Amino acid sequence: MSVVDYFKRVPTMTAEQVRELMNKKGADEYNLVDVRQPREYERGHLPGARLMPVNELLERTRELDRRKPTIAY
């Protein structure tokens, strides 16, 4: 990954759009990734979200299905 990749614009979804997607689809039809730290996750996370702190994300991408829409927060 190049340093330039850090500055690429990532498409966004509003919280409302995320809620609609979660209501419409089954939990196995999308990846929901919480990139915060464990303590923050423990205090509250979106139901079904996987905890993948940002510093572990790249080495754990194999746990996610690349074909599914992926929402990170």
Q: Contacts with other proteins: how many residues (CB under 8 A)?
A: 43
List CB contacts of 65: < 8 A, sequence separation 6 or more: 31
What does DSSP say about strands 31-34 and 50-51: parallel, antiparallel, or unpaired?
parallel
**Does residue 64 touch other proteins according to CB under 8 A?**
yes
d(CA 12, CA 52): 19
Q: Does 7 bind other proteins (CB under 8 A)?
A: no
Q: Is 53 in the site for other proteins (CB under 8 A)?
A: no
Residues that bind other proteins (CB under 8 A): 1, 5, 8, 10-15, 18-19, 26-28, 33-34, 36, 38, 40-51, 54, 57-58, 61, 64, 66-73
